[in-house]
Structure 1
Amino acid sequence: MTATSTRRPVGVPRQLSAPRTSLYTNLEVSSNRHPDKAAILYYGSTVSYRQLRSEVDAMAGFLQQHCGIGRGDRVVLYMQNSPQFVIAFYAVLRADAVVVPVNPMNRTSELQHILEDSGASVAFVGEELMEHVRSLPDRQVDYVIPARYADYLRDRTDLPLPGVLTSSGPLPRTESVNSPAVIGWNDALARACMPRGHASRPEDLAVIPYTSGTTGRPKGCIHTHRSVMHSTVSCAEWPSLANESVMLCSVPLFHVTGMQNCMNMPIFIGATMAIMTRWDARCAARVIERHRVSTWVTVPTMLIDLLNLTDVDRFDLSSMTYLSGGGAAMPQAVAQQIEQRWGIPYVEGYGLTETMAATHINPPKHARRQCMGVPIFNTDSLVVDPETLVPLGEGETGEILVSGPQVFDGYWKSPEATRDAFVLIDGTRYLRTGDLGYVDRDGYFFVVDRLKRMINASGYKVWPAEVEAMLFEHPAVQEACVIATHDPRRGESVKAVIVLRNGEHATEDEVVSWARERMASYKVPRVVRFAASLPRTASGKIQWRLLQEEETRSRNVHSEDRRLD
């Protein structure tokens, strides 16, 4: 029997009809229905839906009238979680433009690539990240709008604040002739510009998130209002969330998981977002208790941190009714502890940047542990032989394919990569996920391995080829091969095996320090090993699998030694 996605647990629907409107319309509707309701809770301060929409419209007008932004233009959003992130995101959409979210952990060279590749002319930037804008070699954008997150702390709070909210200095000014014009966030809003009529349609571009590259630099994923809307509505309808929900927003909003589950979905249903700029387990516990948080979509490491608080039992966390997430498998022992403490399961899901978050989620009432779940609304999934693309039967391991309205249109300015990403089977266009897994007789999917090289560090995907390409820029590095090494907290971390150039010298600490200045922290090698040479095939390709297998064997030997001790 062919392993298709037609089977699913009783009571789990297959179809969903999403609104055929732009994402901005969701904010318009919710602000009309609940103008005085808290849209955002931010360390003790509140932004109502009326204020949120008003500031979104004013910023959209500024983008159009002052920055010349028009339909289809790209605008970079380079910020940490904050009210400004939400306002900027929806302001870009209100201006009929396209959001290009950038990981705030990215450094100058990573930012430069995305600016150049996307062709963005305007960038919203957190003030703590302006140093990376000032370090750009030439004028990459015309306008930069820096934001100080602490400006939205309107009321005093006893909640612990991250350093970025307490160490703000004056906003940086730019003096170079080749530098972009810098207009402060508050100055832009104060102009109270009126936006033109909203014209975006479902088929227009909405978001271009960048995914780390399997063969080098990151590629932009083209998402329309239609693909993002389907995922947004699915996030709400799958667990049947109500607009009374209060959602803890601790995962990064630049990433599709946070963007959809912690921002776009709550705005769609008119719920309340409790936003955290930086992760802090104790602060999260206090926010859950104080605001009666009911919904938390997060990654396993955050839940583990919370459960490891020595005084976790003194917090009243009983308001939580729905816990979900993905990125990495939830350890069995932690899943059991969650159910024992709160009486609810941790509902695991699966998705990609290319699919604007989930393609598979476990049914809340029929959740299985360490399982992708079943395909969500209007989504089909197959398991095929990765070489022949022939569909496989129940329990047979192969590559997982997905097809659905949330799947992206392709990679920005990368037609060849787009062609390689899709395959046509029985007249249906499927995305190749690059993950190996199987489907059981009940229609549940399980991931067992990777077809592509990838390191999963606390849910952040690291493609070794991208890290290797950056390491080659080090003057002492002749060759580098990046593999995964076990990390007790993150699951996996990056390890680099490096061959130095003749006559050159470098230490592990020097390489790590050099890397920290140039790449996001989760990509930085935590371990560096120097070698005289790297293993190669007869055709000269580096045999990374041999190094990975050696690393795995070494870990298993050490684990066995500890057990014997």
Structure 2
Amino acid sequence: MLDRHKSVWPEGVPHHLDLPEQTLTQNLINAAAQYAQRPAVIYHGNTLTYAQLSQQVDALAGYLQNVAGVTRGDRVLLYMQNSAHFVIGYYAILRADAVVIPVNPMSRHAELQHYARDAGADVMLAGQELTSFATPLVDEGLLNTIIVGHYGELADPGYDIPLPAPMDTLDPAAIAGPGVVRWSDAVARGERPAAPQATPDDLAVIPYSSGTTGQPKGCVHTHRTVQVTLVGSLVWNPMTEHDISLTVLPLFHVTGMQAAMNSPLYSGGCLVIMTRWNRVVAAELIKRYHVTRWRSISTMVIDLLNDPDFARYDLSSLTAVGGGGAPMPEAIAKRLKGMTGLDYIEGYGLSETMAALHMNPPAAAKRQCLGIPIFDVDSRILGVSDGAQLGPNEVGEIVTSAPQVFLGYWQNEEATKQAFFQLDGKTFFRTGDLGYYDEDGYFFMVDRVKRMINAAGFKVWPAEVEALMHRNPDIAEVCIIGTPDPRRGETVKAYVVLTAAAQNRVTAQDIIEWCKTEMAAYKCPRDIAFVDALPKSASGKVLWRALQDQERANLAQAEAADG
């Protein structure tokens, strides 16, 4: 086990983490008992106290159990944008002793089919603006019940900051159809859930992480593995009931789920929730509610700092800013420091580790750095070709053994087997990320072992996009690569071979528009190149790297010509 980082370990912070022997459900029960009248959630001008939040959670959990037939260990899809509804839905599923399957609200029909089939879920909680993508699954026999929430019903109708479109114009009376239940009607029934039965070792959350085999895989987490990063983050960087968090990171994603929802609620703090990123609104909410903590991704900070009116914003209440997902550019970090006096504290984690494995020490942070391994985490660098353990400043794959590592991929023994290996009597997880550590034990990211594209912090796996695009009857073959993008870091490009029938009929825009109906927007190719054939090896495998290298060569040539 590497111990170089122990020399920069935060003062007063223990090296071992003692977890409370309780579930996420109990976390909220405890907070509601201790902070009953304190604000838990502020959403578009409406405040829910801890007592009110707990009451709504219990009522929805009761409906799930008594009416929708959800039992202990059942998986329930949570398909919503950031909202008061998301928080209630998340904890209601857990209160019903069930398992949360958080679904990216940018997901569309084909993706929803996969989540429902793979997770074996027949109940979904959804936002009204997403209903049209979800209801076909009822007709297809994949879902029995969809409980649909209108976000405005938990907002102040007279608030001066409107809900983002199209939520601002939707009529909750329009929530209807086979298998569809209006959220407010479900809660109004006042159903009572049974006493909690789940233990810390029961399944709690299964976030889906895309892989190299074409379909997203469910990362199995128990209440215990979720608690490790939840409680650990609070020991590392304490938060109290007086802290107010700007909740703008997507809550379906493990970083937002933990840092911007679960941890603040555990502490008795308050969430100021944004459904959609808007730099002007974010600055106003920070000022209006005296927000103290903001977990974000680098692109949000870049956007805010690039606002011509940034100098007039009052961000003086902030005491902590940080996040992960994509490296924070050095120049932006310096500007942020100069304008706010705050360092952007970066960390490193995956869906498979339920957020942070590494964090920067708050008093000794390094920029563009993954931080140091935190409580009980043993991370190492192994040679990609030979698996040999490497020393400082030698690049290899980051592997880790830690208590927050998931149990495995849901119903996918082969992928689970490939993800783990034994070393020095411990079970290690292969992250698939290339990096190194320096003389002080800080880890840095270099690249990805596999083909992953990092588009503005969102992970895109080419094989998954290719699998979805192959559903298009006009596409004979397709290969996805990443191409540099000045704003997003990388973006998605597709090399497409059309079928004979589609020649001279289908355009690049036709393909892009089709993709928008079948997959999340960040996965959709923004550039389509039609080719007569894809390069292949003697065994018939598509030579994606040849296309990737050619793309980079073309861009380099173009830049040289412009220079």
Q: Classify the TM-score, shorter chain.
A: over 0.9
Does residue 102 of structure 2 align to residue 101 of structure 1? yes
What does 1:151-190 correspond to in 2, within 5 Å? 151-154=153-156, 156-172=158-174, 175=177, 179=178, 181-190=179-188
CA contact 1:126–1:149 (8 Å) conserved in 2: yes
Contact 2:44 2:156 in 1 (8 A): no
| SS at structure 1 position matched to 2:533 | coil
Distance 1:503 1:64 in 2: 51
- Does the 8 A contact of 1:5 with 1:382 survive in 2? no
Per-residue deviation, 1:213:
2.6
Assess if the C-alpha contact under 8 Å between 2:248 and 2:273 holds in 1.
yes
Once the two structures are TM-superposed, the CA of residue 134 in structure 1 deviates from its matched residue by 2.2
Instruction: Determine if contact 1:360/1:375 at 8 Å carries over to the other structure.
Output: yes
Q: Secondary structure at the match of 2:500?
A: coil
The one-letter code sitting in structure 2 at the alignment partner of 1:141 is: L
Tell me how far 1:452 sits from its aligned partner.
1.0
> What secondary structure, in the 3-state scheme, does the structure 2 residue paired with 1:553 have?
helix
Tell me, yes or no, if the aligned pair for 1:8 and 1:374 is still in contact at 8 Å.
Answer: no
C-alpha RMSD of matched pairs (Å): 1.5
CA deviation string 1:209-247 (max 9, x = no partner): 111131111111100000001111122222122221110
Q: How many residues align?
A: 558
Deviations 1:284-318 (A, max 9, x none): 00000111111111011111111111111111111
5 Å-filtered alignment, 1:81-480, equals 81-136=82-137, 138-154=140-156, 156-172=158-174, 175=177, 179=178, 181-480=179-478
The change in CA–CA distance for 1:375 and 1:503 in structure 2 (over 3 A counts) is same
Residues 347, 358 of structure 2: 8 Å contact kept: yes
Amino acid at match of 2:309: D
Partners of 2:119 and 2:512 lie apart in 1 by: 29
Unmatched 5+ stretches in structure 2: none
Deviation, 1:561, is: 3.6
1:64 partner amino acid: Q
- 8 A contact 2:78–2:125 mirrored in 1: yes
* Correspondence list, 1:71-86, <5 A: 71-86=72-87
Q: What amino acid is aligned across from residue 554 of structure 1 in structure 2?
A: N
SS in 1 for 2:493: strand
Q: 1:174 to 1:191 in 2, by over 3 A?
A: closer
What are the residue-to-residue correspondences of 1:473-512 with 2, within 5 Å? 473-505=471-503, 506-512=506-512
**Which range is displaced more, 386-395 or 427-436?**
386-395
Structure 1 CA distance, aligned partners of 2:511 and 2:123?
33
Residue identity in the other structure for 2:161: L
**Aligned AA (1:548):** Q
- Segments of structure 1 that go 5 or more residues without pairing to the other structure are none
Moved more, 5-14 or 348-357: 5-14
Moved more, 210-219 or 405-414: 210-219
Superposed counterparts of 1:553-564, under 5 Å: 553-562=553-562, 564=563
d(CA) in 1 for partners of 2:6 and 2:388? Answer: 19
Q: CA deviation at 1:17?
A: 1.1
Does the residue aligned with 1:411 lie in a helix, a strand or coil?
A: coil
Q: 1:92 is aligned with what amino acid? A: I
CA distance in 2, matches of 1:352, 1:10: 22
| Aligned residue type for 1:386 | V
- What's the CA shift for 1:6? 5.9
Q: 2: CA distance between counterparts of 1:70 and 1:149?
A: 27
Aligned counterparts of 2:539 and 2:4: Cα–Cα separation in 1: 40
In structure 2, the residue corresponding to 1:187 is in which secondary structure? Answer: helix
- d(CA) in 1 for partners of 2:157, 2:132: 29
Q: For the residues of structure 2 that align with 1:204 and 1:171, how far apart are their CA atoms?
A: 38
Cα deviation for residue 558 of structure 1 reads: 3.0
Shift of the alpha carbon at 1:172? 4.3
> Secondary structure at the residue paired with 2:370?
coil
Aligned residue for 1:409, secondary structure, equals coil
> How far, CA to CA, are the matches of 1:242 and 1:378 in structure 2?
24
CA distance in 2, matches of 1:200, 1:552: 51
CA distance in 2, matches of 1:296, 1:561: 42
Partner of 1:9: 8
Amino acid at match of 1:514: W
TM-score under structure 2 normalisation? 0.96
Deviation at 1:489, TM superposition (A): 1.4
CA shift, 1:18, in A, is 1.6
Q: Contact 2:4–2:440 (CA<8 Å) still a contact in 1?
A: no
2:321–2:343 CA contact under 8 A, matched in 1: yes
SS in 2 for 1:68: coil
Which whole-Å CA distance do the structure 2 matches of 1:425 and 1:298 have between them?
A: 35
Change (3 A) 1:63 1:5: farther
Q: Secondary structure at the match of 1:115?
A: helix
| Identity level (%) | 47
Structure 1 residue 364, shift from structure 2 partner: 1.1
The AA in structure 1 aligned to 2:204 is A
SS in 2 for 1:32: helix
**Partner Cα separation in structure 1 for residue 159 and residue 215 of structure 2:** 42
* Counterparts of 1:500 and 1:385, CA distance in 2: 40
Q: Tell whether the 8 Å contact from 1:5 to 1:375 is kept in structure 2 after alignment.
A: no
Name the CA distance, whole Å, in 2 between partners of 1:225 and 1:338: 36
Q: Distance in 1 between matches of 2:87 and 2:172?
A: 23
CA contact (8 A) 1:6 1:380 kept: no
Normalised by the size of structure 1, how large is the TM-score? 0.96
Contact 2:16 2:375 in 1 (8 A): yes
Match of 2:550 in 1: 550
